Structure 1
Amino acid sequence: MYYVRTFLLITNLIFLSTAFILLCIIIVKTIKFSNNERRIRSMVYDLQFNLTNEKVNDFANIISTMDIPNRPVNWKTIRAGYHLIELDVNIDNEVKSKLKVILLSKGVYIY
């Protein structure tokens, strides 16, 4: 009888600790993705003003290291930033093609 109680107690503790760990992981991922969404919006917003090759390189480097949340609003925002860069005549074609390769490798469909 004692062994059964001990076994049940241990299994309940394992279940609760696993559930707690999973809940913590979900919370951390949610916070991380919401920060990335804000970061994407602010980067694209900053691209509207005084667009330079350095800004485009910074945008490309940040996008290449970032986990992009799988939501349509994020893809559309990044695509809008790409179109801003693509239409600017002051940006070098080499920088534009580098950004295009990075976006395509991240799964952003450019049309």
Structure 2
Amino acid sequence: MMNAMEDEIACRICLRREQRHNLITPCLCRGSLRYVHGLCLKQWILWSACYKCEICKAPFIGLRLYRHENSLLSFLREYPLSLLPFLQVNCRNLLQKWLRVSQLR
């Protein structure tokens, strides 16, 4: 009889151990490398822009991904706070420029 620890498998991206039913097998890899969290794989694909497995070279299957001109919009809907650092820097720069112009008048 297997215990719960023996049934846990690590996600190949984040390495967090999970029950097998919480992981997906999106490519042709075998063994422990075939298991991954769906969200981990989505993030990997968004950042790497690679839609096939780097190990077995098979295209990933079983995920809904947007590969069209609205993909940035889709990303921002899913991760709205990812734009926050960019906005903070740009707002600060605009404010500094405005203050410099105001002081010159």
The structure with the largest alpha-carbon Rg is 1
Give TM-score, length-normalised by structure 1: 0.29
Give TM-score, length-normalised by structure 2: 0.30
